[in-house]
Structure 1
Amino acid sequence: MSTVGERIKQGRNAKGMTQKQLAKKLGVSENYINDVENGRKVVEEKFIERVGKVLGGDLAEMTTLFDNIAYEERKSSESNLKTHNLAKGNKVKETINEVWNDAFSSVLKSVGIYSYDLNKPIGKKELPVISNKIEGYAQDKVLYIKIENDDLLGFRICQGDLAFANLTSEIENNKIYLMDVNGERVIRQLKKLDSNKVLIISNKNMVRTETAHPKDVKVVAKLNRLEIQL
């Protein structure tokens, strides 16, 4: 347990406060307080000041204590760098790489490319994350589907093309879906006729249609955008 964590725990206990009560007053989670008290979180001086105000402790003493700990940690780090220069250097590089990877992961996300069975990805593409979404859809609901045949050639959807899609079970009118019908997984256009009928459309060499009840069609994903392979 860190000295700062010990001091916070002592002050909290002296006030007869639980971790949950302290966390509520500070506007943080109970887990955060637990991590601080057990030395798993490095806290900033501003946080120490807020704790001091809530617990009514000696603010100057706590701030000085914080500065001393930070100074000792810097000294220890510098000493380790001098003593284990090569090993530490490699570790620093790894840490920097992890930081950059984390930073870019909040901007770009790998989206899997799948065949129709969706069993496992056969590739991936990087797409930007905007407002925690990818092209307006939840990050865990998007994927690419590799077109396996020319069943929708009339819609300019050809074998080998990549379709950006989102997982869904809802049927919208005149949209193109990856779906299960008649024991087969296919990509088709769906058109609502009424509440009891949908028209399933393919267009390879000519337009082909069949009528089905919506309950007999299991929609898996909706195709939103096509990337043509040249």
Structure 2
Amino acid sequence: MSSVGERIKAARNNKGMTQKQLAKKLGVSEGYINEVETGRKVVEEKFIERAGKVLGGDLSEMTTLFDNIAYEERKAAENAPTGYAKVKANKVKETINDVWNDAFGSVLKSVSVYNYDLNKPIGKKELPVISNKIEGYAQDKVLYIKIENNDLLGFRICQGDLAFANLTSEIENNKIYLIDVNGERVLRQLKKLDSNKVLMISNKNMVRTETAHPKEIKVIAKLNRLEVEL
């Protein structure tokens, strides 16, 4: 058992928590916690910091597995033929990547990037899973939307930017949404005027407003955060 795993297990027991309860709070599987505590799983610093916050203990001691692997393999390769050294260097890199990927696999999730049609992904981004959610939303309800035009330029939302969004059919006043109106997918700021009218706001070169009945608008996703393309 690793010293990190021992500390996590001891802190968990002191809190009276089961592995399942701890896993839920950290957004990982119960099996992941079991492997960490028994030393079969290499964990990264951010996971240890999060575990420390949940358990209230000092879990700052880090495993040195990566450094040890790299050092031993590099030392052996220094006295070996050039070709062998390259093979060993590649093996070290692959080993470290495999261990990191395994460690991150349970705490990160790929979030797909879509155009407005949401037809098929055009890319992916990795985001952390915390308490079984991504940025407070259900994992199967989040996505990235690539901005296709400058309809909301006045809101500093430009073509090519990426917006983190969540799927929804509800309208919150003054939020920006991907909607389907008159058979077209567009981004608009929405505001309910009354039960029969919704104000749709765009801002390309100047503010433009349109009104529609709620039944004429299909709300698809709400934009929550913008990642600017530089």
**Superposition TM-score, scaled by structure 2 size:** 0.56
Q: Which amino acid in structure 1 is aligned with residue 189 of structure 2?
A: Q
Measured after TM superposition, the shift of residue 105 of structure 1 is 2.2
Would you say how many aligned residue pairs link Structure 1 and Structure 2? 137
SS in 1 for 2:210: strand
Measured after TM superposition, the shift of residue 103 of structure 1 is 3.9
- Correspondence for 1:217: 217
Which residues in structure 2 correspond to 1:10-89 (within 5 Å)?
none
Q: Which has the higher contact order (CA 8 A, sep 6+)?
A: 2
What is the CA deviation profile of residues 144-187 of structure 1, one whole-angstrom value per residue up to 9, with x for unaligned ones? Answer: 00000000000000000000000011111111000100110001
Which residues in structure 2 correspond to 1:128-139 (within 5 Å)?
128-139=128-139
> d(CA) in 2 for partners of 1:188 and 1:102?
40
Q: Which amino acid in structure 1 is aligned with residue 228 of structure 2?
A: I
> d(CA) in 2 for partners of 1:177 and 1:193?
16
**Superposition TM-score, scaled by structure 1 size:** 0.56
- Correspondence for 2:157: 157
- Correspondence for 2:166: 166
- Correspondence for 2:29: none
> d(CA) in 2 for partners of 1:102 and 1:224?
30
Please report the RMSD computed on the Cα atoms of aligned residues, expressed in angstroms. Answer: 1.9
Q: Is 1:197 aligned with 2:197?
A: yes
Q: Which runs of 5+ in 1 are unaligned?
A: 1-89
When Rg is computed on C-alpha atoms for both structures, the one with the higher figure is 1
Q: Is 1:113 aligned with 2:113?
A: yes
Deviating beyond 3 angstroms after TM superposition, the runs of 4 or more aligned structure 1 residues are 99-103
- Correspondence for 2:125: 125
> d(CA) in 1 for partners of 2:106 and 2:168?
24
Percent identical across equivalent pairs?
87
> d(CA) in 2 for partners of 1:112 and 1:102?
20
Measured after TM superposition, the shift of residue 101 of structure 1 is 4.1
What is the CA deviation profile of residues 61-101 of structure 1, one whole-angstrom value per residue up to 9, with x for unaligned ones? Answer: xxxxxxxxxxxxxxxxxxxxxxxxxxxxx9xx99x94x864
- Correspondence for 1:145: 145
> d(CA) in 1 for partners of 2:213 and 2:220?
16
> d(CA) in 1 for partners of 2:102 and 2:167?
26
> d(CA) in 1 for partners of 2:140 and 2:122?
17
> d(CA) in 1 for partners of 2:206 and 2:170?
27
